[in-house]
Structure 1
Amino acid sequence: MTLRRVVVTGIGALTPIGNSAPDYWAGLKNGVSGAARITRFDPEKFRTQFACEVKNFNAEDHFDRKEARKMDPFTQYALVVAEEAMKDSKLDLNAINLDKAGVIWGSGIGGLMTFQEEVRSYVNNDSTPRFNPFFIPKMIADISSGYISIKYGFRGPNFVTVSACASSTNALIDALNYIRLGHMDVAISGGSEAAVTEAGMGGFNAMKALSERNDSPETASRPFDKDRDGFVLGEGASALILEEYEHAKARGAKIYAEIIGGGMSADAHHITAPHPEGLGATNVMLNALADAKIKPEEVDYINVHGTSTPLGDISETLAIKKVFGDHAYNLNISSTKSMTGHLLGAAGAIEAVACVMALEHGVIPPTINHFTDDDQLDNKLNLTFNKAQERKINVALSNTFGFGGHNTSIIFRKI
């Protein structure tokens, strides 16, 4: 069976370092840190008092007040980036088959703020069971794709993937395969997350997953640095318009890149810790390369999962060396989480956009906040520390891994 080709024809982004795709890319190139003291609530009593929040976002700039109140921020973010991507793609809704246009989205947590506030309200009202009638529709993760589908009239496949931090890469891979197989011609795919809440911060602090570098939040996300002490929680969203190649070509669409493969695997090891030898990470990259039908030496850039945790960064670099052998030293590798923080279920989508923009502009975004080499890592690898590097890039691979041992890799090629 011949699989159809799939290309990216539109992008949108709302991130801690830029509220549009162009602004996000400018932040990445310039090595901007999105981390700062939390403004959404008073973090004084928390061990971690900072995060990578979306800045200067007012829901009422995008929705009327009544409509905004019906949506959790993660859904608001999803709709905003979907609109940017749709405008960027210049899709004419009157000229496409809406029965073959779908929405496949990703979110690891969904409406955490809604859940937190409704439970808090219940407890504070003497446990009288009075809940907002929009509580459940605001909270459930799949409501994001539902809203997008309703807005654009897309009647094809419509669902949300939940695989922790791998969620939106899983969504992109699902969309890729649905288009390849002819079930869709067009998809809005990506992910959104809004977990910078008391519950989110407290929960991740309890796991000892977060950096506690309160004296210097802007340098706290430091993947591959000897003194890394955990990830920085981020929030936001990104959307990509995926389209069957001939469909895009026929309407004269701008094509950013082709998605040539995706891989999935499981660590089958631990609910939160990665496999110490990078077994799942090795397998997922091999699976993606096999799906793309390319050799390891054809890859130029890897946007790594690279969360800034002591164990995760080591296991991922071990996996890269196993998969790429000597070519690992020819690669540019970087973790854009050093700038955006970790957007959980939305991480894969915003890092996919980073890969697409890197291909378009021939620039590798850096891994910022590197101060001290870690002797446990191979420091001969080009981890693109602190400053963007210009390079011709034909193929970029993006890794995203999640609690529960979920691993995903997706591969983009310049076209």
Structure 2
Amino acid sequence: MTETQVSGEYFEVIRRRVRTYIRSEVVPREIEIMNEGRIPDDLRSAAAEMGLFGYAIPVEWGGLGLDLTQDVELAMELGYTTLSLRSMFGTNNGIAGQVLVGFGTDEQKQIWLERMAAGEVVAAFALTERGAGSYPAGLRTWACRDGGADDAGWVIDGEKQLITNAPDVGLFIVFARIADAEPRDPGIALFLVPADTPGVTVRPKGTKTGREGAWSADVTFDDVRVPASALVGGEVTAGYRAAMISLARGRVHIAALAVGTAQRALDESVAYAAQSTQGGRRTGDFQLVQAMLADQQAGVLAGRAMVRETARAYVSGEDRRIAPSAAKLFCTEMVGKVADLAVRIHADAGYMRELPVERIYRDVRLLRLYEGTSEIQRLIVGGGLVRQAVSADRAGPHPRRARLRHPEASREGAL
């Protein structure tokens, strides 16, 4: 799956407009969003008018056509406010939309992408189940042929858990098992299931620790019948591969989102340290507070550099597996530490709902869980590095290692 980049000048106009929207229109209403548990209609309409429901969807399908290097820059802007806002259109641009962009049939793209880019349809990525979140091999939702013919439709049965946007969704992209897993075949396919399909039931939205304006809910599929054309990519092997690639891309986006939130927590911390006093002294004059600010700044700078480099490597095709997981691991863990430091810098005030750092502290916890937990990212990175080393050994001895092992090599020559 290749990505094309819009011009830098055009993107800069988009980025500046989004920054103004975030900081002038959304930030002042964060408490309203938190208390009411929803994104106000006028903010949603403004986001749709700017093209935010389809910024990563190609221009030919009505989107803005941003590639991942531009996506991460936009994500850092979006992360500066409540993460509920980004959730509203995140799946359209991310794991759900990219499956269709990269692997959907022409018919599937034509039916769905323009409507998604316009904000007329919100798509949801229905993967997570009880006992099968970051581990898709444990899926228990099944899809069976609705008849014996190869062009027959499918019948889907199962239950998905904590699906983002489910109460407001128009299209579910559903992971379902079609066969028992084998060593080189997970036996999983993806299906496009409109939310109004008979047998689809969205349960009441759940109550979460944070991100009050983003809705998620469990979804059941009871004898849900879809046509053969609902199979993503038109073949059973296409969907799972598409999903894994889209998840890797999404991990880079989440990493960038974490950097944007960490920047907001840092800015709030610096402002508080510069303006508040403790025992007649400015809070920021205490060296331990300065040390905490320094740790926050170091994390933000490292994370920003990491997501930019990771996005570049993804777009070039240099690394679409290890680096995305490493970036998500580092940046989502980093923002948790930065948020914790922000609360500590604000002292007891940081524990109060009226302050942004309290909301940030709760919001960012989810970043380490969805689209692959930190533990899963560690397995992907560590296992990937080992497999690379094994492959390199099988390809032949490393020249440097060969010199070190040569029995006649001198100490100086070997080193």
Provide the TM-score with structure 2 as the length reference: 0.25
Would you tell me which structure has more strand in proportion to its own residues?
1
Provide the TM-score with structure 1 as the length reference: 0.25
Which of the two has higher C-alpha Rg? 2
Greater relative CO, 1 or 2 (CA 8 Å, sep 6+)? 1
